Each structure stands twice: as C-alpha cells, then as structure tokens.
Amino acid sequence: QLQLVESGGGLVQAGDSLRLSCTVSAASGRHFSSSAMGWFRQAPGKDRDFVACISWNSEYRFYADSVKGRFAVSRDNAENTVYLQMNSLKVEDTAVYYCAAFIGQNGYSNPAEYDSWGQGTQVTVSS
C-alpha cells in the first residue's frame, strides 16, 4: 500500500482557484508510478463521490460531470505526487477531498476499487 498525504485545501470564495496535492509519504509493496490515482470528495452527510482520476502514465484522465472544464488532474511521478487544480470553484464544491490508489479493473469512479486513502483535506467555498 501507499501512505498518502493530501494538502492544499482551505477557505476560498466562489470563483477562486485551489491546487490540491497528494504525496506519497511511505510505500509498501506498491509503486506510485505504476498506480492510477483518483480524487474523491465527501460533503457532510453525503457519500464519497468521484471527482477525477489519472492513469499511471497520465495518458487517460476522467472527470465527474460536475467538475469537467473546471478541474484538472495531473501527476509528477518523479515527485510521487498527484495534483488536482480546481478553478472557478463553487459553493457546492465544499467537501473533504481525498486521494487514493486505484486497485480495480474498470470501475474508476467506484471508491470500493481504491485503497491507500489519505486523511483528506478540507475545501470550503463561500459565496
């Protein structure tokens, strides 16, 4: 597994931007550079929802419809880090954002097909 640490969250106003980072702090039996990575978010009282994912070599990137055109996922395998650039933030983007490593086959939007979850970083967007 990977031990992941998210950072970059904060309190911003609607329309602002944030860049989240997810960095490997330790690894056991898994290589970040060969793992597809995903971002999810969870608002209070709601399920953990898929936001974006990126293949190990950055060739494939998928986004939830709610963030398409506003968010961009990227990675730097040399730095063992995956990023989520969030632009034009909306109040409804408020949530705890998590990164995780994909271990499944095809269900890239299914949180059950991920492991190595980080502790999350809070993003709060005010109107």
Distance CA 58, CA 42 (A): 25
> Got the DSSP string for 45-107?
TS-EEEEEEE-TTSS-EEE-TTTTTTEEEEEEGGGTEEEEEE-S--GGG-EEEEEEEE-SSS-
- The pLDDT tens digits of the residues spanning 93-107 come to 999 999 999 998 878
- The pLDDT tens digits of the residues spanning 67-97 come to 999 999 999 999 999 999 999 999 999 999 9
Q: 106 Cβ partners below 8 Å, 6+ apart?
A: none
